Amino acid sequence: MEEKVIRTLNWYYYGVMVVSLIALTVMYYLYTHGLYEPLDTMSTVGMTIQYVVIFLVLITIPGGLYLVKFFKPDTLEKYQNLATGRILLVSSSMPLGIVTYYLFGCYQSMLWVAAIAAIAWYFSKPTLGKLQQEMKPEDPGQETY
């Protein structure tokens, strides 16, 4: 049963990478073919978008990484839901950082946002060892499932 949960979580984990690669490909194509006008990073709209993206990263990455530890799931179904939420929260900033990088005409700061999200995405990789560690009860006499 645990292997099935990990397999399902891996679909979400690698699905986010596929979404990020699609975002990268589409934005690169649009940028190199001049199909949109890049935003000015110092304009009001540009600064607002930057603030929103940066605050989103500052909230979702730590919140997502701490999600499972905070709620302490007692069943595999709850764990799967929380781990899915962790993967989606932590890695949602990766495609967003890629899109804003190209939206601002290859603005380096937004690439760092995507890189930070990619590092956090790596730490949300579902493994059997992580599942067993996070499902381990605090009281050794308590049942796991």
* Residue 6 binned pLDDT confidence (cut-offs 50, 70, 90): very high
pLDDT of residue 11: 97
Task: Indicate whether 137 pLDDT > 80.
Answer: no
Q: How far apart are CA 43 and CA 10, in angstroms?
A: 40
pLDDT tens digits, 12-62: 999 999 999 999 999 999 999 999 999 999 999 999 999 999 999 999 999
Task: Indicate whether 142 pLDDT > 80.
Answer: no
pLDDT of residue 138: 72
For the chain, the domains span: 2-128
Task: Indicate whether 122 pLDDT > 90.
Answer: yes
Average pLDDT over the chain, rounded to an integer = 92
- Which residues lie closer than 8 Å to 53 by C-beta, 6 or more apart? 93, 96, 97, 100, 110, 113
Q: How far apart are CA 94 and CA 117, in angstroms?
A: 5
Q: Are 111 and 44 in contact (CB under 8 A)?
A: no
pLDDT of residue 68: 85
CB neighbours of residue 137 within 10 Å: 11
pLDDT of residue 136: 81
pLDDT tens digits, 77-114: 999 999 999 999 999 999 999 999 999 999 999 999 99
Task: Indicate whether 144 pLDDT > 70.
Answer: no
- Which residues lie closer than 8 Å to 79 by C-beta, 6 or more apart? 5, 68, 73, 131, 134, 135
Name the one residue in this structure whose structure tokens are 């990619």: 118
